Amino acid sequence: MYSRSFESSQNLQESQSVMATILQNLPKECSLTKIEYEGPRIALHTNKPQFLLENNKILSNIVGQIKKRIVLRIDETIRIDESEVQKVAEKHAPQESGITEILFDPALGEATIFVKNISEIIKDEKIINNIILESGWKISFKKIPKNMVTIKNINKIIRNASDYRIQFYKRIGEKIFREKLDPNIEANLNSLGGFAEIGRSSMILSTNESNVLLDCGMNIYTKDPLSRFPRFDSTGIKLSEIDAVLLTHAHFDHTGFLPMLFKYGYDGPVYCTEPTSYLMYILYREYIRHSGSEAHYTDKELEKIFSHLIHLNYNIVTDVSPDIKVTFYNAGHVIGSSSFHLHIGNGDHNFVYTGDIKFGKSSYLENAVWNFPRVETLLIEGTNGGREDSYSSREDAQERLIEVINKVIKNQKLILMPAQLIGTSQELLITLDMLIKQKKIMKCKLYIEKLVTEINSIHEFNVEFLNRELQQSIISNDYNPFRSKNIASILDITTQKLDPGIIIYPSSMLNCSYSKDYLKRISNDPGNLIIFTSKPTGMTLGKEIIDGQRKLSINDEDFEIRCAIETMYSFNSHSDFNQLNAYISRLRPKLRKILVNHGERSKVQNFSGYSSKVHNISTQYLQNQESIKLL
């Protein structure tokens, strides 16, 4: 993001002879050494980058003509050795930036420079330009996050796969930009998982030219393979016939099956935002660690994923096959979460898959995007599709949160807030830290586990995916909630001495291995408080408590809940019933059909009936293993 705009793109119709147009439009001064497909883009390699860096209108004009993404690459022959880059960078960057680390991607000739202070660098475009010209590396700067483990691990994987990736990008580009084989345009949506249920979201969008997989989740709450995995067995499509995988966001119910896809032979591209890829890596590692010998996959499959990964940013139209263009839009659910706008054929059909969306206020993300250029069919999530799933406004909920927390903290007691690891944990952490900063909540500790810190670091690393306000205040060093002094670590909940404060515990239904320890620590003291932020689901400890059970037995050990219990669903990362309907109301003029997925059967059923009537648009929920014609 804080790099020179090396890339241009535009949302228009296709043109014919792409390479010819490029060559005709580029002056000799560009000094091209190679034009090549690089995944969904056309890479222009030059050994004199200065001309195109200084005349960057030239490239955006070509993009306007060919309607394909173009990326500028610097010829390998003029790149300096990795070991010399730091010296060059230090020469051009202000002293106070504090360069701490540089990660290289030799396959693409890119280098990411991590610095302590980034604000001076982004003020002056010349700094990056000079480093690029002197080093021959395509440079970007990032503010260094608290925890670099995941970022370094992934960098190691992609470095090791450099040779493979160069060939892979070429191969994929040739598939995407091939001529269409069939003059007829048809499109079907095949439901594989996550329809009339939550837990293994996956579907295939298939046309006469291509099969694109949208999400690839796994339901870890069941062992039965027919309920655990997406039903690839029921389509006629082989894994090798899938042309692309698109992931809306990192949650395991949208990504958990992806390693198995590679295990069983998939070797095509995976498209997602950068934060999605880093977060899902953390989740995969956690899954492997927890599952031990029962894990369905190992680090080997993770390496495969990351050598096939292509990052997409929001709002850029990208060809993923000869007849499908996708644009990712912010979905407001978790960092990097996306809704997909899929443009099929020559705009013959426009299909939007919301993924999980939050169409409502958040402390750290922008609201879900709804103003798509065109939409005929909308597939919307229905997690909160029941009439009973309307929650109080976030403002009201926040007032109540302040009130109940202060009461507990005043008495020097503890609050436990079970929350989803990715999404609600950050929403709460930032909300609470801001409220403490504003002195609305009494000063107290915000306890988090190491895993949450790791997740938070991806938020720092991808700060450009946060809402504008927070982004600005982190970059400018004004305020960074992820580095707040109020945050303290939980190292061992059973023995650690804890000051009055709030524990954000990353298991929303208390159904993790350590939940019992947390519950034991909190529940015995009538002065303590547990606040649930997600609706009760499954056969979980959380559900039992929310449903009113006070005498519990965990692993044959009986104990009693003596502390207070509250529920506050307004901080949840999903839209509530009203927000879903508000979202549809905005889109309504463009819609012809609404499909509903990602929700218990009763919820999606209710939501379909309600939407058909209230919005007067044909609305239907699918089950898994169904196929519906879009076009």
Q: Which residues bind Zn ion (CB under 5 A)?
A: 251, 356
Measure the CA–CA gap between 325 and 174, rounded to whole angstroms: 15
Alpha helices by DSSP H, 264-347: 274-291, 299-307
7 binds, among its own copies, Zn ion, none (CB under 5 to 8 A by kind): none
33 binds, among its own copies, Zn ion, none (CB under 5 to 8 A by kind): none
Nearest distance from residue 42's CB to Zn ion, in Å?
A: 34
Q: Which residue lies nearer to its own copies by CB, 119 or 234?
A: 234
360-373: string of b/e by CB count within 10 Å (b at 16+)? Answer: bebbbbbbbbbebe
21 binds, among its own copies, Zn ion, none (CB under 5 to 8 A by kind): none
Nearest distance from residue 588's CB to its own copies, in Å?
A: 20
Nearest distance from residue 421's CB to Zn ion, in Å?
A: 11
624 binds, among Zn ion, its own copies, none (CB under 5 to 8 A by kind): its own copies
Nearest distance from residue 628's CB to its own copies, in Å?
A: 5
356 binds, among its own copies, Zn ion, none (CB under 5 to 8 A by kind): Zn ion
Task: Return the SS3 of 456.
Answer: helix
Q: Which residue lies nearer to its own copies by CB, 339 or 619?
A: 619
**Are the C-beta atoms of residues 438 and 484 closer than 8 Å to each other?**
no
Measure the CA–CA gap between 199 and 195, rounded to whole angstroms: 9
Nearest distance from residue 436's CB to its own copies, in Å?
A: 51
20 binds, among Zn ion, its own copies, none (CB under 5 to 8 A by kind): none
Nearest distance from residue 1's CB to Zn ion, in Å?
A: 24
Backbone angles phi, psi at 473, to 5 degrees: -70, -30
251 binds, among Zn ion, its own copies, none (CB under 5 to 8 A by kind): Zn ion
Residue with tokens 């119709």: 13
Amino acid in position 309: L
Q: Which residue lies nearer to Zn ion by CB, 3 or 255?
A: 255
H or E element that contains 432: helix 424-437
Q: Which residue lies nearer to Zn ion by CB, 480 or 573?
A: 573
Count CB-CB contacts under 10 A for residue 277: 24
The C-alpha angle with vertex 267 and arms to 265 and 273, in degrees rounded to 5, equals: 125
Identify which of 74, 87, 89 has the alpha carbon closest to the alpha carbon of residue 137: 74
Nearest distance from residue 191's CB to Zn ion, in Å?
A: 17
Residues forming contacts to its own copies in the complex (CB under 8 A) are 184, 186, 188, 190, 226, 234-237, 620, 623-629
Q: How far is CA 542 from CA 89, 194, 305, 556, 598, in A?
A: 52, 22, 34, 17, 21
**Are the C-beta atoms of residues 241 and 211 closer than 8 Å to each other?**
yes
Identify which of 441, 384, 314 has the alpha carbon closest to the alpha carbon of residue 1: 314
Token pair for 604 = 């999606």
58 binds, among its own copies, Zn ion, none (CB under 5 to 8 A by kind): none
Q: Which residue lies nearer to Zn ion by CB, 422 or 441?
A: 422
Q: Which residue lies nearer to its own copies by CB, 211 or 350?
A: 211
Nearest distance from residue 215's CB to its own copies, in Å?
A: 19
Nearest distance from residue 242's CB to its own copies, in Å?
A: 13
23 binds, among Zn ion, its own copies, none (CB under 5 to 8 A by kind): none
Q: Which residue lies nearer to Zn ion by CB, 138 or 251?
A: 251
Q: Which residue lies nearer to Zn ion by CB, 228 or 349?
A: 228
Q: Which residue lies nearer to its own copies by CB, 185 or 565?
A: 185
CA torsion angle 271 272 278 283 (round to 10)? -90
Amino acid in position 204: I
**Are the C-beta atoms of residues 203 and 190 closer than 8 Å to each other?**
yes
